[in-house]
């Protein structure tokens, strides 16, 4: 069977039988397209892909990517060939006798400096107040602040934010329903007053559009807000606030987790908030906290003032 057709079969299987999310399907497709692009033999059949080629491909990945990305790309390929073996399209997966030992050391998650976060939120509100309440600019600025406030107050992923439906955010009872990775559902209380206030103002300003839309956050054409739009919003207010560091939506997630931990919140509560399936994933924030503690003890330990 030709590789192109085999990939189509696998992706269809992932969509229809495994019911994977659109985001996961896109990641699988991207990884498999990259693998396919490295094969110089035209119209190659999957039966002709041997472990020697996989070793060369893994060597290529090792020269270009970090361990976490390599692990994900290889996991996609393993899943693909396991599917082909199970469907009797190939006799044995070429991964059968390949043993990988990647460096699993984890990078500390990047967080937003408190001063930068303060400036972004401050200047976002100042920008909103420049416009007339009846204007489109005021309405869009309100939406932008609601996006930033919700990212920081809940630590949700950008994909989760963009997928929130009108019925999943209950501003009256102050709860948010999120469908996370693996379509796991979690409920997040909306407790922060300023965040809740701006969300209510946004809902009021967009009321006539929200009742006809499944998505809660809308762009200027009243279509669902995309993750790229969220990135542009953050870049816009970072520039207005004069923040030079590159800030991504995911950094809000890292920042709230780290700050909660430093404020004494139990790590299991943070795990539940973030929707991590394993506590081991959440524990990376303990390293950030220790790093912060080390800086505090180095710079502000009272021993410096004792002879």
What residues act catalytically? 157, 181, 250, 253, 276, 285
CB 3 within 8 A of CB 46: yes
HEC per residue, 121-148: HHHHHHHHCCCCCCCHHHHHHHHHHHHH
Decide: residue 17, CB within 10 A, 0-12 exposed, 13-18 middle, 19+ buried: exposed
Q: Give whole-number Cα distances, 103 to 66, 75, 295, in Å.
A: 9, 15, 27
Residue 23's CB is within 10 A of a number of other CB atoms, namely 15
């Amino acid at each position: 069977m030709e590789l192109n057709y085999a990939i189509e079969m696998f992706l269809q299987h992932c969509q229809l039988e495994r019911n994977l999310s659109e985001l996961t399907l896109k990641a699988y497709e991207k990884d498999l397209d990259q693998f396919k692009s490295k094969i110089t033999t035209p119209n190659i059949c999957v039966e002709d892909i041997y472990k020697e080629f996989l070793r060369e491909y893994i060597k290529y990945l090792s020269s270009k990517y970090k361990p976490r990305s390599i692990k994900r790309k290889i996991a996609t390929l393993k899943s693909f060939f396991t599917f082909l073996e199970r469907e009797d399209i190939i006799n044995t997966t070429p991964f059968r006798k390949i043993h990988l030992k990647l460096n699993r050391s984890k990078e500390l998650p990047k967080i937003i400096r408190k001063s930068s976060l303060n400036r972004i939120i401050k200047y976002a509100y100042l920008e909103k107040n420049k416009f007339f309440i009846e204007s489109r600019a005021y309405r869009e600025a309100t939406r932008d602040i609601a996006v930033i406030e919700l990212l920081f107050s809940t630590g949700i992923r950008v994909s989760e934010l963009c997928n929130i439906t009108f019925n999943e955010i209950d501003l009256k009872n102050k709860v948010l329903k999120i469908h996370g990775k693996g379509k796991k559902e979690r409920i997040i209380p909306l407790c922060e007053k300023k965040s809740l206030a701006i969300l209510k103002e946004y809902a009021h300003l967009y009321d006539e559009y929200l009742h006809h839309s499944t998505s809660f956050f809308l762009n200027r054409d009243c279509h669902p807000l995309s993750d790229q739009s969220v990135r542009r919003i953050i870049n816009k207010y970072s520039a207005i606030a004069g923040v030079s560091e590159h800030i991504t939506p995911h950094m809000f997630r890292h920042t709230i987790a780290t700050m909660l931990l430093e404020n004494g919140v139990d790590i299991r509560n943070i795990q539940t908030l973030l929707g991590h399936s394993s506590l081991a994933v959440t524990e990376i924030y303990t390293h950030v906290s220790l790093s912060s503690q080390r800086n505090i003890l180095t710079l502000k330990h009272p021993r410096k003032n004792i002879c």
